[in-house]
Amino acid sequence: MQKSLNYRNSYHDNLHRYAGLKRFFERWSADPDFKQDLINNTTEALKKHAIPVTPDEIKYMIDERITELPQPVKTMWEISKSKQDLIQSFYLSENLPRDRGMLAWRNRQIARQRFDLGPFFTDTNIHSSMTVELSQGCSVGCWFCALSPDSFKENYNYEDNREEWLRLLDTMHSFLGDAMKSTFLYWATEPFDNPDYEKFCLDIYEACGVFPPTTTAVAHKDTERIRRFIELSADHGCWLNRFSLTSLGIMSKVHKAFSAEELAEVECLALNMNTSFAYGNAGNFRKRALERPEILSQQDNKLRKAPWHRFNSDYAESEEYANGSICCVTGFLINAVSRKIQLISPTTASDEWPLGYIIFAEAIYENAAELEMILQSWSIQYFKEKLEDNDILRFHPWLDISVLPDRIEIKGRFNQKEIIEETANPSLYYLVRHITEVPVRLTDIRQHAAANFSISPQESDLLINELYKKGFFYGC
């Protein structure tokens, strides 16, 4: 199969061009003592941390007299912007679900996320349509893990299950169409727990021409396997690999084991407690933060320093923690070992959804035919373009809805607003007011609106379906 490189852009070229600088910022954002080390002895500090830049290239970062934005920071911002462009085109415009109903459902969930998790989360998320776990449980056991896996139990063996696996891919590919290209192969699992992980990745590549992105927390363990994997994925045009570096010691090991150029296309995400990266408040971390609220405040302080938070008054003036989920799938989560399939989408973690995603439905399949039946039944129940008569309408409990004499304000967690003026749109105003009073079936609201406000059934349906598209209703 021809390599699928058309989704790589200037992002990748720049990563190679600035591989040393990229490494510099990985240490800079993770290690609170690094700046002082640089001030004390720049050459020594760079050498100690295996960072191949000259003192001249980074002098702006430690010279307090320079007040304008240093060039290295601007360069990194440009790289991050080109990554964002790639996400936008690959995941949000080109590779969408084939099924019109699923596409409508996905668009609704993305619209809801804007109110639920905020615009930054929504715009930077890949909203992948499928992920598959190739193990049960995870061997790493990170204390902050937002997905709270059980400890490692079992792998999905490639040789024993090859036929079943290829049928699973066929079935999902037929249903998803191009959205299959957004697939990746881990969730509450460590991908390299499975000794056959590389073979599964190659099958995804064969199926849809895209080598799936990978995130691993064990890059420091079997470095030869990881080195071969980086080469394999690059040979197949993979756009992203990511190392989760859970301590500064692990970052040092990884930076010594691999050159900056070898890791040019690998995002090294520092996850030690003092990093500038803030943990998602879901799963294990949320449990810990409920017992010790000060650890959430520490993380919140980090978020409030980020430009996207600081310079957006909707975030800056909100009390909400702006990283309430790490979920990046609006679609199917499949565990190949247990044959469980779930339909999920991100939400701010709560007692109802502690892992930071809504589980709309779940089922166990025995074979491809059963999987197909499950997809068909979820199509009828969830993948709809319009509401049906018996659908019960109620707003999400976290929406802040104020019914005033002249208007209704529907507010999201970060001040996203929908305002319905009574004079400009009286029919919508009465319909929304009615829905806020009591959960109600579409058919009942239609009758009520016709009897009490002389709103035609067609007009009711049209207006309510507009609210439905915006993802305002609970459970759909």
Which of 31, 190, 265, 300 binds ligand SF4 (CB under 6 A)? It is: 190
CA-nearest of 98, 48, 116 to 325 is: 116
Which of 141, 177, 354, 457 binds ligand SF4 (CB under 6 A)? It is: 141
State how far the Cα of 116 lies from the Cα of 154, in Å rounded to an integer: 35
Which of 97, 149, 209, 237 binds ligand SF4 (CB under 6 A)? It is: 149
Which of 147, 179, 201, 337 binds ligand SF4 (CB under 6 A)? It is: 147
Closer residue to ligand SF4 in complex, CB, 126/146:
146
CB 200 within 8 A of CB 184: no
Taking each helix axis from N to C terminus, what angle separates 10-17 and 71-87, rounded to the nearest 10 degrees? Answer: 150
Site for ligand SF4 in 151-170 (CB under 6 A): none
| Count of residues that interact with ligand SF4, criterion CB under 6 A | 11
Q: What residues are paired with 54 via a beta bridge? A: none
Q: Does 354 contact ligand SF4 by CB under 6 A? A: no
State how far the Cα of 384 lies from the Cα of 360, in Å rounded to an integer: 14
In whole angstroms, the minimum distance from the beta carbon of 205 to ligand SF4 comes to 23
In whole angstroms, the minimum distance from the beta carbon of 310 to ligand SF4 comes to 27
Closer residue to ligand SF4 in complex, CB, 142/230:
142
State how far the Cα of 102 lies from the Cα of 448, in Å rounded to an integer: 31
Q: Does 19 contact ligand SF4 by CB under 6 A? A: no
State how far the Cα of 233 lies from the Cα of 8, in Å rounded to an integer: 13
Which of 140, 268, 278, 449 binds ligand SF4 (CB under 6 A)? It is: 140
Piece of the chain touching ligand SF4 by CB under 6 A; list 15-23, 140-148, 157-165, 316-324: 140-148
137: left (phi over 0), alpha (psi -120 to 50) or beta: left
Query: Contact letters (x/-) for ligand SF4, 211-230, by CB under 6 A?
Result: ------x-------------
- Longest Cα separation, the chain: 80
Closer residue to ligand SF4 in complex, CB, 245/467:
245
Closer residue to ligand SF4 in complex, CB, 180/355:
355
Piece of the chain touching ligand SF4 by CB under 6 A; list 61-69, 108-116, 142-150, 340-348: 142-150
Which of 30, 134, 145, 248 binds ligand SF4 (CB under 6 A)? It is: 145
Q: Does 133 contact ligand SF4 by CB under 6 A? A: no
Piece of the chain touching ligand SF4 by CB under 6 A; list 5-13, 188-196, 250-258, 360-368: 188-196
State how far the Cα of 429 lies from the Cα of 459, in Å rounded to an integer: 13
Which of 19, 46, 176, 188 binds ligand SF4 (CB under 6 A)? It is: 188
Piece of the chain touching ligand SF4 by CB under 6 A; list 78-86, 182-190, 299-307, 422-430: 182-190
What values do phi and psi take at 281, rounded to 5?
Answer: -85, 70
131 to 180, 187, 300: CA distances (angstroms):
10, 7, 29
In whole angstroms, the minimum distance from the beta carbon of 163 to ligand SF4 comes to 28
Q: Does 270 contact ligand SF4 by CB under 6 A? A: no
In whole angstroms, the minimum distance from the beta carbon of 299 to ligand SF4 comes to 16
Piece of the chain touching ligand SF4 by CB under 6 A; list 105-113, 185-193, 309-317, 401-409: 185-193
Which parts of this chain interact with ligand SF4 (CB under 6 A)? 138, 140-142, 145, 147, 149, 188-190, 217
